[in-house]
Amino acid sequence: MSVDTVPATGWGRTAPTAARPIRLRGYEEAVAAVRGCGARGGIPRGLGRAYGDAAQNAGGAVFDMTALNRVHAIDAEGGTVLCDAGVSLHRLMEVLLPLGWFVPVTPGTRHVTVGGAIGADVHGTNHHVSGSFSRHVLSFELLTADGEIRTVRRGTPLFDATTGGLGLTGMILTATVQLQPVETSLMSVDTERARDLDDLLVRLTTGDRGYRYSVARIDLMARGATTGRAVLTRGDHAPLEALERPGPLAGGARARRDPLAFRPGRFPAPPALLPEGLVNRATVGLFNELWYRRAPRARTGRLRRISAFFHPLDAVPHWNRVYGRGGVVQYQFVVGHGQEEALHRIVRRISGRRCPSFLAVLTRFGDAGPGWLSFPVPGWTLALDVPAALPGLGALLDELDEEVAAAGGRVCVAKDSRLRPELLAAMYPRVDDFRALRAELDPRGVFTSDLSRRLTL
């Protein structure tokens, strides 16, 4: 176990703080670390893909979970897996796809741990059909502040507080997850262009029920009549018979010989030192224009690899470096159905400021899960990456927070690094229940993070 403090940030590379990393290799080490973590407490940390400060703990301990990475059991008939919390979704795909199973929900990166997926209650582009990750978790083992290991099952208050609870109720050690059956490791994908935000919302509302996965990439640099123009990509897991159809096939003959193979592509990482200001209005505007013009007006049935469909940025290691030393802020919010005008106002405000975001996606959420701090609620969610050094960004996001709260929406706390604590209760009505459970379960504040102190959780 390490005794030296080291600086750490989230994936956004903003607001570094120093903590004592403790790499855990088993249950006994985990119990000892929790019982002896000191006055500043500790917080579990997986692969560090949370954008903000959820897995930082200034002056305290950070529990490195990545060595707890065993897949204990797979029920290939019933479609469940029992694994350690430090197992990544990437590793699960490697193990499960050849058996005809896929993870039930995946965010925009597969380099997150199962414990992180539960703690953030991650969502994917299938939320309108499948809900968030916790909906598919049957149970998990949780190491609580008293050093005891509890088996936590669905339908209990501790389950609901932990799913989306950002590691603040305890340390998840193992989890049992229900899986999604698939016949191939390919996706059948339909693509179309939407001329503006109104056109996009109509297409999503009328067509999403026919697809398991649906996501729109919006050009937030477009203004005027084209505000909110987007490329809409929807699809489902390709059946085996799709590999016999004429037309281009991802992987070609190899895919026909081994339809469940998982072979994600990979490009070189960007240099550690890149010129500042590489992501700016000019470069992003040009990129977005070319990207929109190159997209097909309408195309159906294209076969793509799972990695290219779900995780295109994973092919570029350390892609967050392109934002320079200042880092990147990912801002994500949701507003309910019936609040489309609020969505329009926010998109117009962002476009009017010409925020250089080449990664901005809109999806539609379905029913909310039981997690008290889980982000998804029914409605429209927009996520955008913006250079953290953009002048006036803090004031703009504060204004957007107010707009979102006034519309009855919420900001994604799992990606947050700057939300004002007074807005939290307006966005998350169960936050007082969460605080009360934490006070009872962890009166000494053993599980603590920079985020929990900032938001008084």
Q: Is the pLDDT of residue 404 over 50?
A: yes
pLDDT at residue 273 greater than cutoff 90: no
pLDDT at 274 over 90: no
Closest by CA to 421, choosing from 398, 437, 400, 441, is 398
Confidence check: pLDDT of 1 > 70: no
Model confidence at 243, pLDDT cuts 50, 70, 90, reads confident
Q: Which of 1-15, 216-230, 428-442 has the lowest mean pLDDT?
A: 1-15
pLDDT tens digits along 114-131: 999 999 999 999 999 999
The DSSP string of 346-376 is HHHHHHHTT---S-EEEEEE-S--S-TT---
What percent of the chain lies above the pLDDT cut of 90?
Answer: 86
pLDDT-derived band at 278, boundaries 50, 70, 90:
confident
Confidence (pLDDT) at 269: 67
pLDDT over 60 at 303, yes or no: yes
**pTM of this structure:** 0.96
Burial of 444 (0-12, 13-18, 19+ CB in 10 A): exposed
Residue 3 confidence (pLDDT) above 70: no
Q: What is the pLDDT of residue 257?
A: 82
Which position has the token pair 């917080």?
43
- The answer to whether the CB of 101 falls within 8 A of the CB of 266 is no
Give the mean pLDDT of 314-324: 89
Mean pLDDT, rounded, for 182-209: 96
pLDDT at 266: 72
CA angle 425, 161, 73 (to 5 degrees): 150
